[in-house]
Amino acid sequence: MARVLAVLRAIAVALWRERRSLLSVTMNNFFLTIGFFFFFGTFVDYTVGMIFYLLLGTVLLFPLSAHPLEKIPPERFALWPLRPAERYLLAVLAPWLNPATWLLATLIIWSAVNRGMRIAGAAAVMITIPMLSSAVLQRGRRLVWRMVPRMPGALGELIRNNLRQLLATLDFWLAALLAAIFLLYRVFTADIPSEARAIFSLLIVLALSTIAQTFFALDGPHGMVRYRLLPITGSQALTAKAAAWLALALLLTIPASILVGFSAALGTLPLAFWTSVRHTARQRRWRFSATPAVWNSIGVVLTILASGVVAYRLSAWWTMLPAIASLLSLWLSGRAFEQMRSARR
């Protein structure tokens, strides 16, 4: 039992450190913007602001449900001198280090008390649910990688790799949740104002905008070495990143307004290209992306709003302005990336 307690204590320390990084969303464009409007009282009675923070909690629930034993490398766990009974005991006790497990347990006990279920049956379910939810989560992550098909062309595999990286961020899943909510709203509502479509498109692009500012953050040191060895230019590397990001932005804004989404996405790229080249600090998967600086966030949010609103209010031809700015920034940022790449050799 002492060995089991020692392992649980080490896992608890690792989980505490990870929870702090997981719950750190203060430098994300979406929540900085929502927090700004929430603080200054733009949302009357604060209902709308609370809805967005409930969405945050919903998205965070999935990584919080991961099995704690995943923190131990399998090869190291296999070498530890633990008996089969101790390994089984760890598999049963470790999920209770998760707050999501306690939330499920609370809901089950509430159902047992209010709906007349037997406590013994509820207790059995409480033990099995953490294991099942962890298995579903692991299988879901594997399914995410298989969802991305092979891409044709010279940059096809790079685009595919970038799509996989974007799918491994909580920013994408927040944007997907917003798109799903609006899709359900369209299904069950006959008449939807065009302003609502434009606003949701802007929110979806805003949720994805922080990833664009940190295009190279998920590559890590090994990924940057790979870019130095690949026979491609800096503009091609950024094109592969932008193509994957734009594809997801357009796909998610289809239920709302693809015109506003496309214009807002193009408005994101000029500053995002330059920021992502200059700031390549590593970020972890299955986390919300963090912007390098608040001033960069302010600039990106303003260009998103301006590009989307102008395309919606005036004409689709105004989309040409952010498109031209994106191409110019792509060329300049590509040259800067090549200079940084050659300087590191």
Residue 120 has pLDDT above 50, yes or no: no
Predicted confidence band at 244 (pLDDT cuts at 50, 70, 90)?
A: very high
Residue 252 has pLDDT above 50, yes or no: yes
pLDDT score of 155: 82
Q: Which residue, among 201, 209, 215, has the nearest Cα to 29 in the 3D structure?
A: 209
Residue 327 has pLDDT above 90, yes or no: yes
**Poorest-confidence range of 41-45, 150-154, 220-224?**
41-45
Residue 236 has pLDDT above 80, yes or no: yes
Percent of the residues in the chain that have a pLDDT greater than 70, as a whole number: 58
- Mean residue pLDDT across the chain: 75
The SS3 of residue 22 is helix
Residues, the chain: 345
Residue 226 has pLDDT above 60, yes or no: yes
pLDDT score of 270: 92
Q: How far apart are CA 218 and CA 236, in angstroms?
A: 18
251: its two tokens: 């796909």
**Poorest-confidence range of 11-15, 57-61, 116-120, 186-190?**
116-120
Q: How far apart are CA 321 and CA 213, in angstroms?
A: 20
- Residues 295-317 have a mean pLDDT of 88
- Residues 265-280 have a mean pLDDT of 88
- Residues 288-312 have a mean pLDDT of 85
Question: Cβ(248)–Cβ(163) under 8 Å?
Answer: yes
- Residues 246-267 have a mean pLDDT of 92
pLDDT score of 67: 56
Percent of the residues in the chain that have a pLDDT greater than 90, as a whole number: 18
Residue 126 has pLDDT above 80, yes or no: no
pLDDT score of 238: 92
Cα–Cα–Cα angle for 199, 210, 282, rounded to 5 degrees? 165
Q: How far apart are CA 56 and CA 51, in angstroms?
A: 9
